Amino acid sequence: MNILLTGGAGYIGSHVILAILENGHNVTVIDDLSTGHQKLIPSKIKLINCNINNKEKLSNILKLEKFDVLMHFAGSIKVEESVNNPEKYFFNNTNNSIALFETCYENGLRNIIFSSTAAVYGNPSNQKSIVEEEILKPLNPYGESKLKTENFLINNQDKFKYTILRYFNVAGADQKLRTGLISKEPTHLIKILSEVAVGKKEKIFIFGNDYNTKDGTAIRDYIHVSDLANIHLEVAKYLLTIKESNIFNCGYGRGYSVKEVIDEGNKLTGNKIRFEYANRRIGDAEELVSNIEKISKHINYKPKFNNLSLILESSISWEKKLYEQNL
């Protein structure tokens, strides 16, 4: 396969690049490096520094080379920021994505894998096993911006063959520590926990301990980023052979509360994870756990890292590497 990938200097995109290379495929990366890090992209990879709404530059790329599929990761991802600055999210995640898709269509690239989110579900009726057919009621502009982009693809099925992947909580790092999450202002629980573990932060805040859950803290379904990367390759094969548009949840189908994650972190670190309770954040759902029956039926989905300890160990090891490099 010859793959065009946006957002390759980011967390998930950089892991997908590694999976693409390890499976013998070709990839060209588009990233304007506004939030990504070039050092996360292997040096032999062709990187084109431009924004995804640069129609002229993208058209030239698409005219020069034939790509089998677009994997689209570029966008803004922070829920709390989206509440404070919704316009940024609708511009980056919706308008720019639509502009990218239309440029691809005009230049003959019709197969798209879109990086979406479980945030499109909001507070679903069955939070313990969310199916793709659930009514979609996002609680924040981040989720809304992704849903609007999903709807563009769904409403243009005559133009595109697509797979929409709704990520649950992505965490962990490459086992060889070639890439991982770099963020100056992290919002991911496991990233912040890892920073506390290596001494970069003093403590972690638990936002809300009054949810209707077993310990009062919110529950999420955590998927290791390397398993998610492999999903993209399997989905690309599916898209190119079956030629059928679809929507899949990406998770493990098992939820952990914030407190359970911290407790596991303390087991691994010898009780280094200090925490403090704080008020709930606007836009946070109580529980989000995937039902993965659909993706398991359609692709060869065999997770290798479906273990909270493995996820935490890789994340803490990556954070230690960053800390030693003063990053």
The structure's pTM equals 0.96
Burial pattern 249-279, b for ≥16 Cβ within 10 A else e, equals bbbbbebbbbbbbbbbbbebbeeebebeeee
What's the whole-number average pLDDT of the chain?
Answer: 96
SS3 helix, strand, coil % of the chain, rounded to 5? 40, 20, 40
CA–CA separation, 133 and 248 (whole Å): 10
Does 109 reside within a domain? yes
Does 149 reside within a domain? yes
Does 258 reside within a domain? no
The residue ranking higher by pLDDT, 68 or 283, is 68
Which residue in 81, 116, 266, 275 sits closest to 187, CA to CA?
A: 81
Instruction: Read off the pLDDT of residues 2-36 as tens digits, 9 standing for 90 and up.
Output: 999 999 999 999 999 999 999 999 999 999 999 99
- Provide the domain limits for residue 115: 2-171+222-250
Instruction: Answer yes or no: 142 catalytic.
Output: yes
Q: How many structural domains comprise the chain?
A: 1
142, 162, 167, 256: which one is catalytic? 142
The pLDDT value recorded for residue 57 is 96
Q: 12: domain CATH number?
A: 3.40.50.720
Does 200 reside within a domain? no
Does 241 reside within a domain? yes
The pLDDT value recorded for residue 108 is 97
Does 213 reside within a domain? no
Does 119 reside within a domain? yes
Burial pattern 208-220, b for ≥16 Cβ within 10 A else e, equals bbebebeeebbbb
Instruction: Read off the pLDDT of residues 39-79 as tens digits, 9 standing for 90 and up.
Output: 999 999 999 999 999 999 999 999 999 999 999 999 998 88
CA–CA separation, 231 and 16 (whole Å): 9
Does 277 reside within a domain? no
